[in-house]
Amino acid sequence: MKVSIIGGGAWGATLGQLLIDNNHEVLIYDINESFVNKINQEHIHPFFNDALSKNLLATKDLEEALKFSNYLLLAVPTKVMRSVLKTINQKITNKTYFINVSKGIEPDTFKRVSEIVTEEIEADKLAGFAVLTGPSHAEEVIKRKLTLLTVASLNQSFAEELQVIFSNETYMRVYTSNDLIGCEVGGAAKNAIAVVSGIATGLDLGENARAALITRGILEIVRIVEVYGGKRDTAFGLTGVGDLIVTASSENSRNFKAGKKIGQGMAVEQIFSSEAQTIEGIRSIYALHQLAVSKDMSLPIISTAYKVIYESLSIKDAMNELLTRTLKSEKIE
């Protein structure tokens, strides 16, 4: 089958190669001309030095990508998702399937990508929506290292169709889920905790502290998934805790590395300006803290990280805030 990928960065280009490996046809659309040229002319991944198939093609012409297929895989950062979808809606005429792989929550609205899609794509043009997510460093998938993902949709047969399209017998195994909300939210929430784990590492707090933050962070992921209406089981699966495990202490994770730099004293603006790639977790901390305030929900780790990142709370005061909270029993609730 044919798939158009919207956003050919680290993850979009890697999933393009996966689909080519699985004998599908792919056209990647990206606004960055140098990425497009790298894919078309050098057959090299835009961010990694791995070779790409000559059959993997790219374009900087959105209309060409939209004509190529009515299956659109969304791999742009969440911050541009709404504007990209507005443009797509103006240009498409056919019923179109959307597969989101980006992991974020829209700041200020706290909306999930599926909600943004429903708002921006007219109902008669929207054939289906799914999210494909789970523990996956693009750096490893492009090297065809074993990876397990989950595809979630409210439409079970669409999820099953995608499961077959993305799975192969050598390195990619895809599970299905009907908990769209849990899968969407888990990916965003774990990025926030990965940033915090990075901050702890940058501060050299030690492995005890990092393990504690990650474990208590899981509790916050569970709360976030449940407040959105997702299932607790999903939070403990591949798309929540599984994705946290791969992200929360890995130098391959941009969220972890960004947190580490914050812990070492670098300003967030400096991190954003020096990093060409998407760091969803820092924005997720913003969105999830706003959510916590609006729902009167306790997310002590994320909210303390918000104060450090966005309100210049000193690390010493942040630690003090966390450590002087009322002593309690350990419960997941």
Ligand X SMILES: NC(=O)c1ccc[n+]([C@@H]2O[C@H](COP(=O)([O-])OP(=O)(O)OC[C@H]3O[C@@H](n4cnc5c(N)ncnc54)[C@H](O)[C@@H]3O)[C@@H](O)[C@H]2O)c1
User: Quick one: which of 77, 107, 167, 212 contacts ligand X (CB under 6 A)?
Assistant: 77
Q: Residue 94 interacts with ligand X (CB under 6 A)?
A: no
x/- contact string, 281-320, with ligand X (CB under 6 A)? ----------------------------------------
Q: Tell how strand 2-6 and strand 25-29 pair up.
A: parallel
Residue 89 assigned as binding residue = no
Tokens matching residue 162? 């995608």
By beta-carbon proximity to ligand X, the closer residue of 172 and 203 is 172
User: Quick one: which of 9, 16, 240, 242 contacts ligand X (CB under 6 A)?
Assistant: 9
Residue 7 assigned as binding residue = yes
Site for ligand X in 249-278 (CB under 6 A): 277-278
Q: Residue 7 interacts with ligand X (CB under 6 A)?
A: yes
190, 231, 257, 261: the active-site residue: 190
Instruction: Output the smallest distance, CB 35 to ligand X, in A.
Output: 5
Residue 115 assigned as binding residue = no
Distance CA 176, CA 132 (A): 9
Q: Which residue's Cβ has the minimum distance to ligand X?
A: 9
> If DSSP states are collapsed to H, E and C, what string results for the chain?
CEEEEECCCHHHHHHHHHHHHCCCEEEEECCCHHHHHHHHHHCECCCCCCECCCCCEEECCHHHHHHHCCEEEECCCHHHHHHHHHHHHHHCCCCEEEEECCCCCCCCCCCCHHHHHHHHCCHHHEEEEEEEECCCCHHHHCCCCCEEEEEECCCHHHHHHHHHHHCCCCCEEEEEECCHHHHHHHHHHHHHHHHHHHHHHHCCCCHHHHHHHHHHHHHHHHHHHHHHCCCHHHHCCHHHHHHHHHHCCCCCCHHHHHHHHHHCCCCHHHHHHHCCCCCHHHHHHHHHHHHHHHHCCCCHHHHHHHHHHHCCCCHHHHHHHHHCCCCCCCCCC
Q: Residue 184 interacts with ligand X (CB under 6 A)?
A: no
Q: What is the dihedral of CA 86, 88, 91, 95, to 10 degrees?
A: -110
Q: Residue 186 interacts with ligand X (CB under 6 A)?
A: no
In the residue annotation, 145 being an active-site residue is answered as no
Site for ligand X in 33-62 (CB under 6 A): 35, 47
Contact window for ligand X (CB under 6 A) among 102-110, 163-171, 284-292, 317-325:
102-110
Instruction: Output the smallest distance, CB 195 to ligand X, in A.
Output: 12
Sign (positive/negative) of CA torsion 139, 144, 148, 154? positive
User: Quick one: which of 4, 59, 69, 78 contacts ligand X (CB under 6 A)?
Assistant: 78
Q: Residues in contact with ligand X, total (CB under 6 A)?
A: 28
User: Quick one: which of 12, 202, 230, 237 contacts ligand X (CB under 6 A)?
Assistant: 12
Tell me if 288 sits within 8 A of 302, measured CB to CB: yes
By beta-carbon proximity to ligand X, the closer residue of 203 and 230 is 230
Q: Residue 104 interacts with ligand X (CB under 6 A)?
A: yes
x/- contact string, 134-163, with ligand X (CB under 6 A)? --xxx-------------------------
User: Quick one: which of 22, 32, 89, 176 contacts ligand X (CB under 6 A)?
Assistant: 32
Site residues (vs ligand X, CB under 6 A): 6-12, 30-32, 35, 47, 75-78, 80, 84, 101-104, 136-138, 277-278, 280
Sequence ranges of the binding site: 7-12, 103, 134, 136, 138, 190, 243, 253-255, 280
- Binding-site residue numbers for sn-glycerol 3-phosphate are 103, 134, 136, 190, 243, 253-255
